[in-house]
Structure 1
Amino acid sequence: MSAEHRRGVLFALACYGTWGLFPAFWKLVASVPPAEVLAHRVVWSLLAVSVMLTWTKRWDEVFILLASRRRLLVLAASTLCISVNWLVFIQVVGEGNVLEASMGYFLNPLVNVALGVIVLKERLRPLQWAAVALALAGVVQLAVATGTPPWAALTLAGTFGVYGLLRKRLPVAPLTGLAVETGLLFPLAVAYLVWRMAEGSPILGGTPALAAALVAGGPVTALPLLWFAAAASRLRYTTLGFFQYMAPTGHFLLAVLAYGESPSLPHLITFGCIWAAIGLYLADSWRQRPS
């Protein structure tokens, strides 16, 4: 393994490991309304990204994006997807339903496959079809057993899947794209926070600990993207894909071991179907690797 490859692995571990611990971070601000947490995340993420872009001298990439109406429209759509994704994640973690968040991100790669077929007209191999069908069967089983589909998990998987598709159609660096997305949300976020303060909501959560956590949401959001970009530049994308399961695995372990969430039998069956589907998908990817 070359030195560059080792550095890529370390960056990937840092990135996906941090994302896997996200529930523990957002639990710190569970007493703050989710929409308010989202607004703070946007404001402080934009500040953190601005510092990073200045440090790396990459503001020209942002100006190039802003000069194109088509690119701005695509990024406006991706902004809508990521803001809904962030809000739902913050809400389910605050409500003590980390297992559903885990399920959403385990489903995400299979949603990406489905979007590739529907939107990009990609063709699936038999094992890939079997993986998608197995995951779908697990979700349908859960809906029948509990009387309602896992809406939060489906929303997380769907919004992040569409977000990834939009960013695939408009390839931009993660940090640059986040700068534009948070920039588009910034006026709404500030207006909402001003309104909340006018209504009597405490500034920055009302305590030093909450204030520190809300402000830290900026670098906590931006740094993993920087590490992702560093990993992506050093590793094959297929190799990087194997690391993506670290995040939902981290969510699952936190939910069960740290937060005492007990999955019901229907939930365990659904997770089993999803994990088997991921296994099929990875097996197919391994079979198709270049010799």
Structure 2
Amino acid sequence: MLSGMGAYLLWGLLPLYFSVLAPADSFEILAHRIVWCTVFCLLLLALTGGFRALRTALTDGKVLGTLALAAVLVCGNWLVFLLGVMSGNVVEISLGYYINPLLSILLGVFVLRERLRPLQWVAIGLAAAAVVVITVGYGAVPWFGLAVAVTFAGYGLVKNRVGAKVGALSGLTVESIVLTPLALGWIGWTYLAGTATFSGEGSGHVLLMLLLGPATALPLLLFGSAARRIPLSWVGMLQYVTPTMQFLTGVFLMGEEMSAARWAGFGLIWVACLVLITDMVRRARRR
């Protein structure tokens, strides 16, 4: 339970962390996040003797292809998250992570041919209504939130396909390795273009950029540790810690505007989350 809470608390703090990395832009931060995540994961594998599992994943064409797709989706998720944070749309990002569990349920219906329970239908209907209310009242579609939800739900679905074959650390390492050449290329481009901030903003900035590796990998590893040991219904309730922290950060620390339509939309989302949690608890008790 502590591992799960630690993972979601760390994820909830990411908007504040990324905001202090200015003047680095979203693409430079993303590139360094990928590179230092790769370095950190390889170090952990060296300490735990996990290179055999990594070699197995890299030499299995089907597993490697699936993890490459997962890498593209998680890279898209990280980029949208960064663009949202750096442009002052943290509240909208939190909306995406509130919606994400509901979108994952829909993917289960359309891709895995699962059947929805009545309360799940109610929760999805409330979430859809919330997006409509926010869109109409705010005058714009919450693209950041929707993109975050779609990419992360897709990432979860793809990872589900290889979860039994590849451990959390090995899988994350493969995903990072797949993305590293592009990340290194972008970092090189920033130096050629004279826009690199990594070595020009002092030792504190360098340290914060280096810590992007642990900041990326540790929450995922804590989550993996928790998910194997506590009931799924507990994981389902814990997952709302992160968007709640992001919402509070956006409203109270970053001063983002909350119109009446936004409050109404988020109210519907929170009711949808409560309905979904109720359904998970009832199902767990029946089991």
Give how far 1:177 is off: 1.2
Q: Does 1:250 align with 2:245?
A: yes
Contact 2:93/2:144 (CA < 8 Å) preserved in 1? yes
Q: Deviations over 1:168-216 (max 9, x none)?
A: 1111322211100110011111111111101112351521222221111
- Please give the residue correspondences for 1:42-61 in structure 2 after superposition, counting only pairs within 5 Å: 42-61=34-53
- Counterpart of 1:183 (choices 177, 180, 183) is 177
Q: Deviations over 1:55-74 (max 9, x none)?
A: 11111111111111111111
Q: Does 1:67 align with 2:59?
A: yes
What is the alpha-carbon distance in structure 1 between the residues aligned to residue 240 and residue 22 of structure 2?
A: 25
Letter of the structure 2 residue corresponding to residue 30 of structure 1? A
Give how far 1:38 is off: 0.4
What is the alpha-carbon distance in structure 1 between the residues aligned to residue 136 and residue 192 of structure 2?
A: 45
Give how far 1:126 is off: 1.1
SS in 2 for 1:204: coil
What is the alpha-carbon distance in structure 2 between the residues aligned to residue 94 and residue 86 of structure 1?
A: 12
- Counterpart of 1:218 (choices 213, 224, 246) is 213
Give how far 1:146 is off: 2.9
What TM-score comes out, normalization by structure 2 length? 0.95
Name the count of aligned residue pairs. 283
What TM-score comes out, normalization by structure 1 length? 0.94
Identity between Structure 1 and Structure 2 (%):
39
- Counterpart of 1:166 (choices 158, 164, 168) is 158
Q: Does 1:82 align with 2:74?
A: yes
Please report the RMSD computed on the Cα atoms of aligned residues, expressed in angstroms.
1.3
1:194 maps to which residue?
Answer: 188
Letter of the structure 1 residue corresponding to residue 89 of structure 2? N
What is the alpha-carbon distance in structure 2 between the residues aligned to residue 65 and residue 273 of structure 1?
A: 42
Q: Deviations over 1:200-244 (max 9, x none)?
A: 123515212222211111111111122112222321222222111
Contact 2:187/2:196 (CA < 8 Å) preserved in 1? no
**Structure 2 unaligned regions, length at least 5:** none
- Counterpart of 1:231 (choices 226, 230, 235) is 226
Give how far 1:119 is off: 0.8
**Structure 1 unaligned regions, length at least 5:** 1-8
1:272 maps to which residue?
Answer: 267
Q: Deviations over 1:146-175 (max 9, x none)?
A: 332100000000000000000011113222
1:5 maps to which residue?
Answer: none
Contact 2:130/2:266 (CA < 8 Å) preserved in 1? yes
1:16 maps to which residue?
Answer: 8
Give how far 1:269 is off: 1.3
- Counterpart of 2:24 (choices 32, 52, 57) is 32
SS in 2 for 1:30: coil
What is the alpha-carbon distance in structure 1 between the residues aligned to residue 117 and residue 231 of structure 2?
A: 21
Moved more, 43-52 or 138-147: 138-147
What is the alpha-carbon distance in structure 1 between the residues aligned to residue 151 and residue 282 of structure 2?
A: 30
Structure 1's consecutive aligned runs of 4 or more residues displaced over 4 angstroms after TM superposition are none
Distance 1:265 1:205, change over 3 A: farther
What is the alpha-carbon distance in structure 1 between the residues aligned to residue 44 and residue 209 of structure 2?
A: 19
Contact 1:32/1:205 (CA < 8 Å) preserved in 2? no
Q: Deviations over 1:233-280 (max 9, x none)?
A: 321222222111111111011112211123111111111111111111
What is the alpha-carbon distance in structure 2 between the residues aligned to residue 203 and residue 255 of structure 1?
A: 25
Contact 1:42/1:185 (CA < 8 Å) preserved in 2? yes
What is the alpha-carbon distance in structure 1 between the residues aligned to residue 197 and residue 138 of structure 2?
A: 40
SS in 2 for 1:163: helix
